[in-house]
Amino acid sequence: MRVLLASASERRFAWLNDCFQSIDITCIPLISKEKNIEKNKSVKQQSKDICFSKAESAALEWSLVDSETHDIPDVIIVSDTLVESPGNENMALGKPEDSFMSTSMLLRLSGKRHRVWSSTAILVQKNKQYQSLYSDWRYKIWTDYAIVEFDDLSEEDIIGLVESNSWVGKAGGYDLAGSAGQYTKIIEGDEVTVLGFSKQAIDELRKII
């Protein structure tokens, strides 16, 4: 069984390897550019849309690969995670572009609860239980959320988090498994959802591999 994580996320790759140690999992980022976040949609729907876009890209890219010269994966996984701004279900906090944006996001989250949405798609070939996507590739998407609560952050706390660079590449500008873990707790949902996968999709993955 060849499983591919079509992602540039080292955190997702490390988590999958820890969770499925008996399976050979490879990680190859998508070539296609990630879809931009759309406004005027719920963050839940934005996460689904971006994940579907990634699934489309993965199916297209791997349908063009020569099976005689490359090992085609049996399963492809794509995922997207967005942080919902406290009190605004239509505002997604994506990955900050710089330390100023990271600071702004931490100030917005400080002392509040927020939802983290993760949508994960599993792609397989010729499985009638999944929806047709491209060529022989078929897919299914699952979406889950978790509620995370931040402590009231002091100025020193925020400076420390920003200077740690743990916000780089992280939706909402923080890393639950990193420096921000000492200031956060999960009120509802599963840790895997905050770290980047739908729990329902992971449960499905356990069944098929």
Q: pLDDT (tens digit, 9 = 90+) per residue, 126-153?
A: 788 899 998 889 999 999 999 999 999 9
Tokens of 85: 């701004």
Range of the domain at 124: 3-208
Distance (Å, whole) CA 56 – CA 189: 28
Please tell me the predicted confidence (pLDDT) of residue 135: 87
Type and span of the H or E element at 101: helix 99-109
Q: In the chain, what percentage of residues exceed pLDDT 90?
A: 80
Distance (Å, whole) CA 142 – CA 118: 8
Short-list 197, 208, 200, CA closest to 23 = 208
Q: Determine how β-strand 92-93 pairs with β-strand 3-5.
A: unpaired
CATH number, domain with residue 176: 3.90.950.10
Q: pLDDT (tens digit, 9 = 90+) per residue, 63-105?
A: 988 777 788 999 999 999 999 999 999 999 988 999 999 999 9
Please tell me the predicted confidence (pLDDT) of residue 70: 80
Tell me whether residue 61 is exposed, middle or buried, using C-beta atoms within 10 angstroms of its C-beta: 0 to 12, 13 to 18, 19 or more: middle
- 10-31: b (≥16 Cβ within 10 Å) or e: ebbbebbeeebeeeebebeebe
Confidence tier at 37 by pLDDT (50, 70, 90): low
What total number of domains does the chain contain?
1
